[in-house]
Chains A and B, each alone.
Chain A
Amino acid sequence: MINQALMEEYQSTNLEILEAESIHIMREVFAEFEKPVMLYSVGKDSAVMVRLAQKAFYPGKIPFPLLHVDTGFKFPEMYEFRDNFCKEIGAELIVHKNEEAMAQNANPWDWGTVKCCSQLKTKGLLDSLANGGYDAAFGGARRDEEKSRAKERIYSFRDDRGQWDPKSQRPELWNLYNSKINKGETIRVFPLSNWTELDVWHYIHLENIPIVPMYFASEREVIVRGEQLIPVEEKTRLQDGEKTERVMCRFRTLGCFPCTGAIRSEAVTLPEIIQEMMVARKSERITRIIDHDQEGSMEEKKKEGYF
């Protein structure tokens, strides 16, 4: 009989359990798929994903490439961070752009966010997966982010057009994941499914994981639009009567600059960010304009093949 003291000795913390689960998932994918790829968005969740992959395959290197679907609308700090970071850890980085749509000057101001996302992100992603012949793609999505994501499996089956059918998902029991697919079909894999935003930040803090400096507060040039702080970049368009101002702020999530708002914040260290998180009364995706552009917008985008 194992006594109480031993039970406690063999007790794992919440973050340790989450880490172990994510590593287990990554190893399953590597063992069962022919050509996996890790989607890399340069954000904090991607940073955690890369660290988990390093842990899963240590002392080996990450045995699959990182794929960045680039819309051309990311913040300059993100590109700089991406290139340095990948070089530093010796990861293979593939950057894919939907050149055709970019040549037609795709942008959210003229095209609207729905169409712009669909071309630059969704089509970009589907094309790059098809071109690379990848049968499994890791994504850093979490179930706590958005209500349709709360329904997503860890192995999310996509048909040969990359579409998600929320009504007939494969049952997923224990840690037994079904990796069987036909040619052309893919599995999106979400190792961070059970993590929360707080877990991600706490893990970044404990593990000293490098992240894009934009997550920390600094004084930035922004447009105050309702409750949103829209960062001003080279291509940002001002609406009539709008003026830019300098505000102490930071980003809770990082996406395309026309569609990502900042929040007022004084947090310049990770503990300060976490403290802010713990008392936050608004979800992180409030600053993502695309989540709110139509009823059930995330679900619609995901059905088409978006992450």
Chain B
Amino acid sequence: MTEENINIDEMLQQNRDADLLRFTTAGSVDDGKSTLIGRLLNDCKCIYEDHLEALERDSQKLNRKLDFALLTDGLKAEREQGITIDVAYRYFSTPKRRFVIADTPGHEQYTRNMATGASTANLAVILIDARHGVLTQSKRHSFISSLLGIPHFVVAINKMDLVDYSEEVFDDIRKDFESFSAKLDVKDLIYIPISALCGDNVVNRSDKMPWYDGTTLLRHLETVHVSSDRNLIDFRFPVQYVSRPNLDFRGFCGSVASGVVRVGDEVMALPSGKKSKVKEIVTFDGPLEQAYPPQSITVCLEDEIDLSRGDMLVHPLNLPKLERSVEVMLVWMSDVPLKINSPYLIKNTTNTVRGSITDLKYSVDPADLHRVKADTLELNQIGRANIELFRPLICDEYTRNRTTGGLIIIDPMSNATVAAGMIIHRTEGKESIRGQEKDAPTSRNITHVNSLVDSKLREKVLGHKAATIWLTGLSGSGKSTVGLALEHRLVQEGHACLLLDGDNVRSGLNRDLGFSADDRTENIRRVAEVANLMNDAGIIAIASFISPYRSDRQNAREIIGSDRFIETYINTPLDVCEERDSKGLYVKARAGEIASFTGVTAPYEEPEEPVLKIPTHELSVDDAVDRIIVELKAERIIS
């Protein structure tokens, strides 16, 4: 790019349209982190000449080769000791994007700084020295990055030049990291072999690693899709202050934390629960029709309702939690250890509340993610705790909302920020919680919403009623075969219909469930809820599940409603099913390879009064389908 051929309008347009990516890098000097940043800045032509000259001077003074670390290590103490103490922010841009690098120290004693840098990042670059493989430090960085909710990870395997650009080394490290990262909550993870020193695959593609056909680091940073990481669904507007410049104006100032709000929207003020409508969205640059994150706006309402700093505006059908007690993952950031039951200040959005930490469940070792019983948290330790609050927080889970789900803890005596907390779901990660609470939703703040569309209207639109045909029976009894044929017939005849099949559901919705009695119960409960939703939408559901327990089927009947629950028993005898053994499971079960197999090592409780019995050993598939169709017509589900 030369001075002559720059079109200023184009450049301004580019700079104006460019979006922003914030990313973190962590590691010690030895990982080559500073070299990498220097390389990115240098190859993007983002280091000023006088800075480069100063760098040369400083490097010479310290008797080092040109040391890019001196660019980011801005403090005297850091330069003298050759370490990074605190987060440094660096800025660079390409025609596609603006970048903010939060360059964070990787050592254990700087975990808090790493968390600080990670809190606002969209992406984490995890640097690994190809010669040393996955070290504790990389694991710590990865764990903290995932804890702080960074959705995108790049594992940059550096110093490939020192391992002869070996594919095998790259693959080994990759496998090693994969086995660790499987335990983390990471949405998007890619691996790039680089040499920051030589510039391979950083900005420019390397010709030394023909085996690698992926992208360069910069190209990935420029193109990784981050706009969909934002929560545009749950409208949350924490009020910063109330603007009353004159008697005629009363506006609520704040930033949209998530979701979208439009003029005319019905909104609810929390914690009061009072409702009003958005009259106007005011800005210096004129009124807006709608606003979205991270816009800073002023909202005027139709009615005079009680609303002040610390309160929140939301949509009444999409409520956050209002909690006097929250469970959090804490990163402790103070030299003074956590004191159980001591008073602290908790700041969440614009709301600062007194509270105390009442219970510390465990601490986590970031290196291996082991949970350790703990009585306190010391500087840089991470743990799970319960916080009791004097006034309720208006919050969401952190994984759902990074703005309303994050909090800081302040020591009221020293005024220091002593910890950062991420709100988690109370039941998350707890064992044997299922079943205990099956009758009541976990949150007390759920309000049932009634649709404006009644079932009659849906029936009119779709031309039939909704029902769930619940096919129960042994493995191999022919449930799936009948179910598939029935679905096909119904759809051919112009009905809205979907088959829910056991194996399919278990590979998606219920993939976390096994075959213990508890898990089978939960499996059926979820399926029943889905069938119920489908019926509510007017769709005929066919549920094909062994569902061996009477109590579970009874539960499903209650969820779906007995008037639309058509229990159909595929009563093919066990010996026929075993003879068929279409999936080879009976053989395995008899050989003792399957622990809990219905009909062999686990019970099947026959339905007492099924609507239909379908003996598939006596009927053809078409006949079986005919019988069900006749029943549906008799029940006036279809005509």
Complex contact B241–A31 (CB within 8 A): yes
Residues of chain A from 142 to 179 with CB closer than 8 A to chain B in the complex? 143-144, 146-151, 166-167, 169-176, 178
Decide if B17 touches A13 in the complex (CB within 8 Å). Answer: yes
Contact of B408 among A58, A176, A278 (CB under 8 A): A176
Q: Which residue of B lies closest to A275 (CB)?
A: B8
27 A–B contacts, CB within 8 A, in A order: A2-B233, A12-B294, A13-B19, A14-B19, A14-B20, A20-B295, A20-B296, A21-B294, A55-B284, A144-B91, A147-B73, A148-B74, A148-B75, A150-B72, A166-B77, A167-B85, A167-B86, A171-B112, A171-B113, A173-B116, A173-B120, A176-B408, A180-B412, A198-B15, A206-B16, A274-B11, A286-B48
- Checking A8, A10, A202, A281 against B260 with a beta-carbon cut-off of 8 angstroms, the contacting residue is A10
Contacts of B383 in A (CB 8 A): none
Question: Measured between C-beta atoms, what is the minimum distance from B88 to chain A in Å?
Answer: 5
CB-defined contacts of B237 to chain A, threshold 8 Å = none
The segment from B249-257, B361-369, B464-472, B527-535 found at the interface with A is B249-257
B403 and A174 contact, CB distance less than 8 A: yes
By a CB distance below 8 angstroms, the chain A residues around B294 are 12, 17, 20-21, 24
Residues of A within 8 A of B72 (CB): 147, 150
The 8 nearest A-B residue pairs measured at CB:
A147-B74, A60-B245, A23-B296, A180-B415, A173-B119, A55-B284, A58-B284, A283-B48
Question: What residues of A have a CB within 8 angstroms of the CB of B282 in the complex?
Answer: 58-59
> Hey, what's the 0/1 contact readout for B274-311 against A, CB within 8 Å counting as 1?
00000000111100000011111010000000000100
Q: Does A182 contact B (CB under 8 A)?
A: yes
Kindly provide the distance from the CB of B265 to the nearest chain A CB, expressed in whole angstroms: 15
- Contact of B410 with A193 in the complex, beta carbons under 8 Å: no
Cβ of B400 within 8 Å of any chain A Cβ, yes or no, is: no
Which chain B residues numbered 59 to 90 have a C-beta less than 8 Å away from chain A? 71-77, 79, 85-90
Binary A-proximity of B1-26 (CB < 8 A = 1, otherwise 0): 00100101101100111111000000
B621 sits at the interface (CB 8 A): no
Q: Tell me if B217 counts as interface (CB < 8 A to partner A).
A: no
| Cβ < 8 Å to B, chain A residues 255-307 | 271-272, 274-275, 278-283, 286, 295-296, 299
Expressed in whole angstroms, the Cα–Cα distance for A27 and B251 within the complex equals: 13
Pick the contact of B98 from A10, A14, A21, A278 — CB < 8 Å?
A14
Q: Which residues of A contact B253 (CB under 8 A)?
A: 27, 56
Q: Which residue of A lies closest to B117 (CB)?
A: A173
A209 at interface by CB-CB < 8 Å: no
A196: Cβ under 8 A from any B Cβ:
yes
Interface size on B, residues (CB 8 A): 84
Chain A: minimal CB distance from B86 (Å): 5
Shortest C-beta distance, A299 to chain B (Å), equals 6
Q: How far is the CA of A202 from the CA of B228 in the complex (A)?
A: 27
| Bound complex: CA A198 to CA B14 (Å) | 12
B183 interfacial by beta-carbon distance below 8 Å: no
Shortest distance in angstroms between B69's beta carbon and chain A's nearest beta carbon?
11
Residues of chain A within 8 A of B241, CB atoms compared: 27, 30-31
Q: How far is the CA of A59 from the CA of B282 in the complex (A)?
A: 8
- Chain A: interface residue count, which band? 35 or more
1/0 contact trace for B229-255 toward A, CB 8 Å? 010110000001101110001010111
Looking at the assembled complex, report how far the CB atom of B465 sits from the nearest CB atom of chain A, in whole angstroms.
28
Q: Which residues in chain A, 1-49, are within 8 Å of chain B measured between CB atoms?
A: 2, 4, 6-8, 10-17, 19-21, 23-24, 27-28, 30-31
Q: Is A57 an interface residue (CB 8 A)?
A: yes
Cα separation A16 to B19 with both chains bound (whole Å):
9
A16, B293: Cα distance in complex, Å: 11
Residues of B within 8 A of A180 (CB): 345, 410, 412, 415
A4 to B228, CA, bound (A): 8
Q: Which residues of B contact A113 (CB under 8 A)?
A: none
Query: Is A54 interfacial (CB-CB < 8 Å)?
Result: yes
Residues of A within 8 A of B284 (CB): 54-55, 58
Q: How far is the CA of A243 from the CA of B294 in the complex (A)?
A: 54
Residues of B within 8 A of A118 (CB): none
- The reply to whether A169 and B86 contact each other, CB–CB distance below 8 Å, is yes
Contact present for B3 and A27 (CB under 8 Å) = no
The complex places the Cα of A3 from the Cα of B232 at a distance, in Å, of 11
User: Would you call B608 an interface residue if the criterion is a C-beta within 8 Å of the partner chain's C-beta atoms?
Assistant: no
> With the chains together, A272 CA to B12 CA distance in Å?
11
Contact across chains for A59 and B417 when beta carbons are under 8 A apart: no
Chain B residue contacts of A58, Cβ below 8 A? 282-284, 298
Q: How far does the Cβ of B527 sit from chain A's closest Cβ, in whole Å?
A: 22
Asked if B389 is at the interface (CB within 8 A of a chain A CB), the reply is no
Which residues of A does B touch, CB under 8 Å? 2, 4, 6-8, 10-17, 19-21, 23-24, 27-28, 30-31, 54-61, 143-144, 146-151, 166-167, 169-176, 178, 180-182, 193-194, 196, 198, 202, 205-206, 271-272, 274-275, 278-283, 286, 295-296, 299
Complex interface: chain A residues within 8 A of B18 (CB): 13-14
Using a CB–CB cutoff of 8 Å, the interface residues on chain B facing chain A are 3, 6, 8-9, 11-12, 15-20, 48-51, 71-77, 79, 85-91, 93, 98, 100, 112-113, 115-116, 119-120, 227-228, 230, 232-233, 240-241, 243-245, 249, 251, 253-255, 260, 282-285, 292-296, 298, 309, 333, 345, 347-350, 402-403, 406-408, 410, 412, 415-417, 420
Whether B255 pairs with A278 at a CB distance below 8 angstroms is no
Q: Given A6-B232, A178-B347, decide whether A14 and B15 contact each other with a Cβ distance below 8 A.
A: yes
Which B residue sits closest to A283, measured CB to CB?
Answer: B48
A23 to B256, CA, bound (A): 12
Q: Which residue of A lies closest to B295 (CB)?
A: A20
Measured in the bound complex, the distance between the Cα atoms of B309 and A30 in whole Å is 12
Q: Which residue of B lies closest to A142 (CB)?
A: B91
In the assembled complex, the Cα of A60 lies from the Cα of B298 at a distance in Å of 11
Assembly CA distance A271 to B13 (angstroms): 12
| A178 in contact with B15 (CB, 8 Å) | no
Q: Take A173-B420, A181-B415 as given contacts and tell me if A282 and B249 are in contact as well, using a CB distance cutoff of 8 Å.
A: no
Contact yes or no, A271 B8, CB < 8 A: yes
B240 touches A10 (CB 8 A): no
Q: State in angstroms the CA–CA spacing of A300 and B523 once bound together.
A: 65
- By a CB distance below 8 angstroms, the chain B residues around A193 are 89
Kindly provide the distance from the CB of B48 to the nearest chain A CB, expressed in whole angstroms: 4
Q: Which residues of chain A have C-beta atoms less than 8 A from B245's C-beta?
A: 57, 59-61
Identify the interface centre among B15, B230, B410: most chain A CB within 10 Å of its CB. B15
B232 to A2, Cβ gap below 8 A? yes
Can you add 8 more A-B contacts, CB < 8 Å, to A13-B19, A59-B245, A171-B333?
A2-B228, A11-B227, A56-B296, A147-B74, A170-B417, A178-B408, A282-B48, A283-B50
CB-based contact A174/B402 at 8 Å: yes
- Contact partner, B119, options A2, A174, A198, A275, Cβ 8 Å: A174
Q: Return chain A residues, CB-CB under 8 Å to B8.
A: 271-272, 274-275
Tell me, rounded to whole Å, the shortest Cβ–Cβ distance linking B378 to chain A: 15
Taking a contact as CB atoms closer than 8 A, the residue among B15, B86, B406 that contacts A176 in the complex is B406
CA distance A296 to B74 in the complex (A): 8
Q: Contact at A202–B20, with CB atoms within 8 Å?
A: no
List B contacts of A148 (CB < 8 A). 74-75
Q: Would you call B77 and A20 a contact (CB within 8 A)?
A: no
Among candidates A11, A56, A170, residue contacting B19 with C-beta atoms closer than 8 Å: A11
B71 touches A274 (CB 8 A): no
A297–B484 CA distance with the chains assembled, in angstroms? 77
User: Assuming A12-B295, A193-B89, is B232 touching A24 (CB within 8 A)?
Assistant: no
